Amino acid sequence: MTRQLAVGLTGGIASGKSVVSSAFERLGIEVVDADQVARDIVEPGQPALEEIRARFGDAIIDGDGRLDRRQMRGIVFDDPDARVALEKITHPRIREALATRRDAVRSEYSLLAVPLLVKSGMSALVDRILVVDAPESVQMARLIDRDGIDEELARKMIAAQDTRTLRLAAADDVLVNTGPRKDIADLAAALHAGYSRLARGDIDNLPPMHLPG
């Protein structure tokens, strides 16, 4: 059986991916969220959590036996080797789970929201890439406000992701998210109309779309 169309949604941290995902969900499209998958695979009892404990020690486990995300974040953003070690444990499992959940989607196409879509090689899971784009200065301001962190950590978090240049080079479609949130629904609806036609087979190809916000 031919697999349905899969669109990969990516963008820098605090670019507005979750807002865009929600807009597509309101249009009836099922979203497979890599961040949720990443949380699921490190739940207590999961092999990934035990591997992380073995690699980084008991200090990264909280009192409830769960991964202490704040502690883990502090480690990996200060040590690139630690980040690579963590990704070697989690990325294969995330990739496998994303593919499984993608194939279980029953909407006319699936949307895979993956922050490291390009850098991780997970772009192979999708047929088309939609990038939510915002200047780094906008990301910085949103991230500091959202997470209550300082500028130094915000810069490290942005640097750990795909570069803006890499994302845009891989993009089929770009949604520029610098305007009011109310505009996102209209922009998502325009993208959805094109994806629906492609998913139904009404058209064989869809020209790249670049939507300013």
- Name the binding residues: 14-19
Sign of torsion, CA 32 79 152 70?
A: positive
CA dist., res. 185 & res. 74, Å (int):
35
CA dist., res. 106 & res. 45, Å (int):
29
Binding-site members for ATP are 14-19
CA dist., res. 127 & res. 173, Å (int):
12
Residue pair 17/131 in contact (Cβ under 8 Å)? The answer is no
Residue 68 CB neighbour total at 10 angstroms = 15
The 3-state DSSP class for residue 63 equals coil
Residue 20 neighbours by CB under 8 Å, 6+ apart: 9, 11, 130, 132, 175, 177, 184, 188
